[in-house]
Amino acid sequence: MKNLLRIRPIKKRFIISLIISILVIVGIILYFRFFDNTISFSSLWTALTVLTTSAIIWVLINERKNYVHTFAWILVLIFLPLVGIFFYFAVGRNFRKNKLFSNKEIADRLEFKAINKFLDVNYQDYNFMIDSQSSKIMKLLYNNSKAFLSHNNNIELFPDGIKLFDKMLLDIKQAKHHIHLEYFGFANDETGKRFRDALIKKAQEGVEVRIIVDDVGSWKFRFMLGKIFKSYGVKVYYFNKVRIPFMNSRFNYRNHRKIIVIDGKISYLGGLNIGNKYASKDKYFGYWRDTHMRIQGGATLGLQTVFLTDLYFLSKEYLFKEEYFDNSYTSGDISMQVVTSGPDSDWESIMQSYFIAITGATRNIYITSPYLILNESLNIALITAALSGIDVRIIVPGKPDHLIVFWGSRSYYQDLIEAGVKIYEYSKGFIHAKVLSVDSKLVSIGTANMDIRSFNHNFEINGIIYDSIVSREIDNQFFKDIEDSRQITIEDINNISRFTKVKLGISRLFSPLL
C-alpha cells in the first residue's frame, strides 16, 4: 500500500513543476515576441532549455530516494540537456512506475493470501530448521516478498540449452492438463519453431496452453508466432505493451522472467530464453553457457503462483483453483524458496538476498553474471568480504552483447581486484548464467543479473536453494568455467589505454541508468 500513498505527492510535484515551466516559457516567448526583438533565437532557445532542465532537476531532487541515480540524471541533463530531457520523460520518472504497477503489488498480496490454502507450509514451523545464516535469509525473503520455503524439492541442473530444450520438449509432450510459459525472449527461429509446434500440438489435444512474453524482449513475437499461436487456441499475453519504443515510460520496465510450469508438477527456471542463440547456434556468441534448472516439488507451486499472478495482472483471468496446484508431491529433500522482485514492490527483494548472503559469508563467494553493474551496497559488500579474507571470485563474459553495459561492468574491476576479488572473463563462448554460491551451502539461480536494471527495473525471479549437494555441483561447474576463462590482473588494469579509460569512465557515469 505504500506505493499508493506516494503516487499523488510525486505526481503533484511533477505536474506543478511542469505547469510552472510551461507558464514561464510561454511568458518569455510572448515577451520577446511583442516587446523585445533584440535577443536571438539561439539565445532564447538556450534560456528555455536551461529553464526546463532546471525544473526537471528540481523534481529529481525532490522525488528520488537513491542519490546515485539522482546525481547521474543531473549530470546527463547538464551535459546533454536536449537528449537528457527526452530520455527523462521517456524512462526517468518515478510516479509513472508507481501508477503502472501499484495495482499489481496489491494483486500480488491478495493472490498470495488466496493461494495459502494450496500450500502445505507454515512459516513458524521452520524458523530454525536450517543454520542461522540461512534462517536469516529465509526470514528476509518471507518478509520482503512472501517467499515460502519448501523442503521436498528435486532439482536437475543444466549448464546449457542443448540438453535443456530437449528435456523441456519431452515434458511438454507428456503434459495432461496445462502448460504455462513466461519468457522475456521467444525467438521465431528453428528453436522457437520446435517449441511452437510442440505447444500447438498439445493445444490441439485439449491441453490448456498459456504464454506470457515481454513485449519488448520478444518484439517480433507479436507479429509472427503470436498470431500463429492464437489461431490454434493458444492463449498469448503481452507484458506491458509498448506502442512506440523509447517514447513511453513503460519501455523501461520489462518482464525478465523465464518460467515453465507443466501440470502444476514440473517447472523450469533459469537464465535461458527460447531461441537458437541459447542453443549455441549463433556464430558470434558460439557456445552459450548458462544455468537452468528443472524442479519437482513445492517450489513448483511458487512458480505457478508467480505465473498466475502475472496472468491476473494482464488479463484479470483468475486461475487460483485446485486443478492448477498439485501438492501431493514427494519428490526430494532439497529446501528452496522462490523469490521475485520488480518495480511493483517496495523492497528490492533479490538484491537484498544477494546482500545478506554476501555479508554473511564465512568462506567463499562465487558469482557468475553476464553483467556487473553494482550498486554501492553490493560493491562495498564484495570489497569488504574480500578484504576480510573471504575467497571472492566473479566470472563475467569476455565478449560483449551490449557494449555500454560491457564497458560499464569493466569499470568496476579495479576497486574489486585491489581489494582481493578475483575476476575472470569467460573465453569459451558467452556466459549468461546468473548464479551466486556462498559457503558451498547456499545457491541462487534465476533470471536476475548482478546489475542495477535487474534490481530496480525488471520483473525478475530467482530460486534460493539451501542444499550442500546442489551447491557442490554449482561450485564444480564454476571451477570448470574458470578453466575456460582468463583472470584479470591489476597489471591488466594498469596497462589499459587512455582511450579505454575514457570509455570506462563514461560507461561508469551512465551505469546507474542502464
Residue range 370-398, pLDDT digits in tens: 999 999 899 999 999 999 999 999 999 99
Nearest to 320 by CA among 150, 114, 105, 120: 114
Q: Is 281 in a helix, a strand, or coil?
A: coil
C-alpha cell at 410: 569493466
SS3 190: helix
Amino acid residing at 175: A
Active site residue 258: yes
For residue 134, the model assigns a pLDDT of 87
Greater confidence (491 vs 85) lies with 491
Q: 364 or 29: which carries more pLDDT confidence?
A: 364
- pLDDT of amino acid 371: 96
Confidence check: pLDDT of 264 > 90: yes
Please say if the pLDDT value at position 5 is more than 90. Answer: no
- Grade residue 42 by pLDDT with cuts at 50, 70 and 90: low
What DSSP designation does 321 have? Answer: S
Say what the pLDDT of residue 507 is: 78
Question: What pLDDT score does 294 carry?
Answer: 98
**Bridge partners, residue 296, by sequence:** 154, 266
C-alpha cell at 233: 487456441
Cβ atoms of 359 and 386 closer than 8 Å: no
Residue 46 vs residue 416, higher pLDDT: 416
Asked if 263 contacts 178 with a C-beta cutoff of 8 angstroms, the reply is yes
Length of the chain: 514
Selected residue with higher pLDDT from 422 and 48: 422
Range in 65-74, 282-291, 365-374, 498-507 the model is least confident about: 65-74
pLDDT value at 93 more than 60 = no
Torsion angle, alpha carbons of 507, 509, 512, 513, to 10: -80
**Of the listed 69, 97, 256, 503, which one is catalytic?**
256
Q: Is the pLDDT of residue 105 over 50?
A: yes
Residue 439 annotated among the catalytic residues of the structure: yes
Kindly name the residue from 69, 180, 202, 258 that is annotated as catalytic: 258
Catalytic-labelled residue, pool 434, 441, 457, 503: 434
For range 84-108, the mean pLDDT: 51
Nearest to 239 by CA among 222, 226, 254: 254
Q: How far apart are CA 449 and CA 406, in angstroms?
A: 13
Query: Active site residue: 180, 432, 441, 503, which one?
Result: 432
Q: Does residue 486 register a pLDDT over 70?
A: yes
pLDDT above 80: residue 92? no
DSSP calls for 73-124: HHHHHHHSHHHHHHHIIIII-HHHHHHHHHHHHHHHHHHHHHHGGG----GG
pLDDT value at 16 more than 50:
yes
Say which residue the cell 530531457 belongs to.
85
Q: Is 263 a catalytic residue?
A: yes
> Does residue 402 have an active-site annotation?
no
Q: How would residue 461 be classed by pLDDT, with cut points 50, 70 and 90?
A: very high
Name the active-site residue from 171, 215, 263, 451. Answer: 263
Task: Please say if 457 is a catalytic residue.
Answer: no
Q: How confident is the model at residue 491 (pLDDT cuts 50, 70, 90)?
A: very high
Q: Which amino acid is at 360?
A: G
- Rounded to the nearest 5°, which phi and psi values hold at 84? -60, -40
Q: Which of 108, 214, 215, 439 is catalytic?
A: 439
How far apart CA 87 and CA 89 sit, in angstroms, is 5
d(CA 159, CA 484): 14
Rg, the chain, Cα only: 24
Query: Is pLDDT above 50 for 3?
Result: no
Is position 434 annotated as part of the catalytic site?
yes
Residue holding cell 554501492? Answer: 376
Tell me the mean pLDDT in the region 256-284.
97
Find out whether 258 and 181 touch, Cβ atoms under 8 Å.
no
Grid cell for residue 63? 522525488
Which of 97-111, 314-328, 401-415, 424-438 has the weakest average pLDDT? 97-111
Lowest mean pLDDT among 140-154, 227-241, 500-514: 500-514
